[in-house]
Structure 1
Amino acid sequence: MASLTTGAVQEIANLQREDGRQRLRELLKWKKFDEERDLRPSILLDFVYESLVFAVKKGFPWHAVALVIKISQDIFNDCKDLSVTKSVELLRNKLSKCETQLAQNHHLAFLDFLMDTFIRHHGLYQFVVRGEREVDCTVIELQVHTPPNPLPLSEGTDSQVWQYQQRMATLTGDENQKRISMLLLKETAYHETERRLDMLYKDFAVQDTGTLQRQVLEKVVQDAVRSQVEVLEEILLKEVQLSLEILELKLQQKTLPCPNTSPTLTNSPASTKTETTAGSSSKTSFARAPKGKKR
């Protein structure tokens, strides 16, 4: 197991936690690993680094801090297959061999540290070190839809013209929908009239006793006429309403202001110049008229 020099231990102790962990890994000559996927080396590195920090805070000599690092690695690796009792026994044996290198107070402090950390969580450490981890990696392929390439500006439409076209298309679509509703209304009225007449004919057939009476015939005719009038009245009211709505849509189409995107010719410099030239020529011809008359 690799051991550190006192200078290396001092260097690690003066660094921040994460920098110190990575420097400790480099000095122990461990390969770089993924902290999230490789839990075994990550937990071992944490345990060894915490042992180093504990020894520095307790005032261990630098050579004793390096010895603490070596003992921590040995205990972590040697106790992965042992029970708690055997692990405690192994821990005491290793520390007893280092009594000459550690002061008694440091020896007891480090023993208490190992009992409160490693031995207390012995089962958890064994589970992480010995248990095989299942790696569940889900890969999802996402299709990226890039925005379409914009058309050249020469092929574009002015915003006011586009809004006018959209509004006109909406009004035209509403008008067509109203006309379709009127056709469906007439068809519905025709079927409703046929249905009511069929009901009257059925009632008349039931009441037919072989002799056609005048009162019965008059009643049948009156019922038929009343039924027709009710249907026509209802249909006419709906048709009038639809006609008004269609006229309103047509009026909106006629009064919708059309955007003027082309420049007017009345205010152009060319037209002004032309008018000025024409005016000057007329004045010239008018001024020369008396000379011709005098001649």
Structure 2
Amino acid sequence: MCHHGYQKEDGRYFLMTLLNMDFDEDRDLKPGILLDYLYNAIMFAVQKGFPWPNVVLVARFSEELLEETMGITITEAIGMLKKKCDQYQYTMKPKQFKLLVNYFLETFFKHYRLYQFVLLEVREMDQTIHNLEVYVPQKPLALKDGTEADVWIYQKRISELNETENQLQAEMLFLRQTSQLESERKLEQFYQRLKLKDKIVLESEKVEKIVKEAQDILMKIASETLENVIRTSFEILDIKLQKRVLPQPASNANVLKKKILSKFKKS
């Protein structure tokens, strides 16, 4: 547990403010790694009970050690650690100083090559940034203004069935309208083919044949339309039946009434 009630993110932000660090962690890893390095060393000292003046010394020791070991081998870095120990050994109690040295051996020097690589290598930026709009959910209604789950499910199902029924009704109207237009179009094509040349008078048999062909055209269109209308009508009837047989949820009053009656029966 962090002192002063700080969780890690709060503590990092507080330290970043003290150090006047301002950076984008998504685009630049180095400052974030340096911040974590210092924060972890400081929190180690705090959690081990170092006096606050010594906590400040630990922060300074950590910063100097990191700066003075950049770009040198791990053997040279160990030698640098010994020099730092000579400088700081009398600034705190031997037990605390030993804890501090062991801390750096187990953390910084254990990952020394990784620190060197990340902090010294030039990192090529290859990032894609997308601007996203975040829609905050609407504030939920108070419980007293809300709808019970079973009632909501019932209303939702009824709404879905009503929407389907309306679509089918619109489809039936469209079928009837297009049927009339299709009949007119087919007859117009038929009459175009029957344009008489030189106004020759037709024989009665030919007239009967023409009338029959016109009737066949109309009957075919009417038959197809009627078939589609009947099918759609049955679908609409099925929707109406589903709405009729859909069990309605019991209201709060009915539920309470049933509970009271059941108690009287038991007594």
Task: Name the TM-score, length of structure 2 as normaliser.
Answer: 0.53
Taking only aligned residues, the RMSD between alpha carbons, in angstroms, comes to 4.0
Of 93, 97, 110, which aligns to 1:103? 93
CA distance in 2, matches of 1:25, 1:60: 22
What are the superposed Cα offsets for residues 138-163 of structure 1, whole Å, 9 maximum, x if unpaired?
Answer: 36799xxxxxxxxxxxxxxxx79854
CA distance in 1, matches of 2:107, 2:88: 20
Whether the 8 Å contact between 1:13 and 1:20 is mirrored in structure 2 is no
The 3-state SS of whatever aligns with 1:60 is coil
The 3-state SS of whatever aligns with 1:44 is helix
Alignment of 1:1-295 (within 5 A): 13-14=3-4, 15-28=6-19, 30-138=20-128, 162-169=170-177, 171=179, 245-249=220-224, 251=226
Are the structure 2 counterparts of residues 172 and 126 from structure 1 closer, same or farther at C-alpha, using a change threshold of 3 Å?
A: farther
CA distance in 2, matches of 1:116, 1:137: 34
Are the structure 2 counterparts of residues 13 and 27 from structure 1 closer, same or farther at C-alpha, using a change threshold of 3 Å?
A: farther
CA distance in 2, matches of 1:164, 1:138: 51
Aligned-partner residue type, residue 113 of structure 2:
G
CA distance in 2, matches of 1:102, 1:141: 51
Higher deviation after alignment, 120-129 or 244-253 = 244-253
Q: Equivalent pairs: percent with the same residue?
A: 31
Higher deviation after alignment, 116-125 or 89-98 = 89-98
What are the superposed Cα offsets for residues 172-221 of structure 1, whole Å, 9 maximum, x if unpaired?
Answer: 688799x7xxx9xxxxxxxxxxxxxxxxxxxxxxxxxxxxxxxxxxxxxx
Which runs of no fewer than 5 residues in structure 2 stay unpaired? 133-165, 191-215, 234-267
Shift in Å, 1:109: 0.7
Match of 2:163 in 1: none
Structure 1: 4+ residue segments shifted above 4 A: 139-142, 159-164, 169-177, 241-245, 250-257
Match of 1:224 in 2: none
Are the structure 2 counterparts of residues 54 and 173 from structure 1 closer, same or farther at C-alpha, using a change threshold of 3 Å?
A: farther
Are the structure 2 counterparts of residues 36 and 171 from structure 1 closer, same or farther at C-alpha, using a change threshold of 3 Å?
A: same
Shift in Å, 1:168: 2.1
Are the structure 2 counterparts of residues 243 and 132 from structure 1 closer, same or farther at C-alpha, using a change threshold of 3 Å?
A: same
Are the structure 2 counterparts of residues 35 and 92 from structure 1 closer, same or farther at C-alpha, using a change threshold of 3 Å?
A: same
Whether the 8 Å contact between 1:175 and 1:249 is mirrored in structure 2 is no
Are the structure 2 counterparts of residues 174 and 74 from structure 1 closer, same or farther at C-alpha, using a change threshold of 3 Å?
A: farther
Are the structure 2 counterparts of residues 250 and 117 from structure 1 closer, same or farther at C-alpha, using a change threshold of 3 Å?
A: closer
Whether the 8 Å contact between 1:51 and 1:69 is mirrored in structure 2 is yes
Whether the 8 Å contact between 2:183 and 2:218 is mirrored in structure 1 is no
Task: Name the TM-score, length of structure 1 as normaliser.
Answer: 0.48
Whether the 8 Å contact between 2:45 and 2:58 is mirrored in structure 1 is yes
Are the structure 2 counterparts of residues 169 and 95 from structure 1 closer, same or farther at C-alpha, using a change threshold of 3 Å?
A: farther
Whether the 8 Å contact between 2:179 and 2:222 is mirrored in structure 1 is no
What are the superposed Cα offsets for residues 96-149 of structure 1, whole Å, 9 maximum, x if unpaired?
Answer: 21111111111111111101111010111011111111111336799xxxxxxx
Matched residue pairs, number? 171
Shift in Å, 1:249: 2.7
Shift in Å, 1:164: 4.7
Are the structure 2 counterparts of residues 26 and 171 from structure 1 closer, same or farther at C-alpha, using a change threshold of 3 Å?
A: same
CA distance in 2, matches of 1:123, 1:176: 87
CA distance in 1, matches of 2:89, 2:229: 106
The 3-state SS of whatever aligns with 1:119 is coil
CA distance in 2, matches of 1:138, 1:176: 60
Shift in Å, 1:59: 1.4
Are the structure 2 counterparts of residues 170 and 138 from structure 1 closer, same or farther at C-alpha, using a change threshold of 3 Å?
A: farther
**Structure possessing the higher radius of gyration over alpha carbons:** 1
Match of 2:202 in 1: none
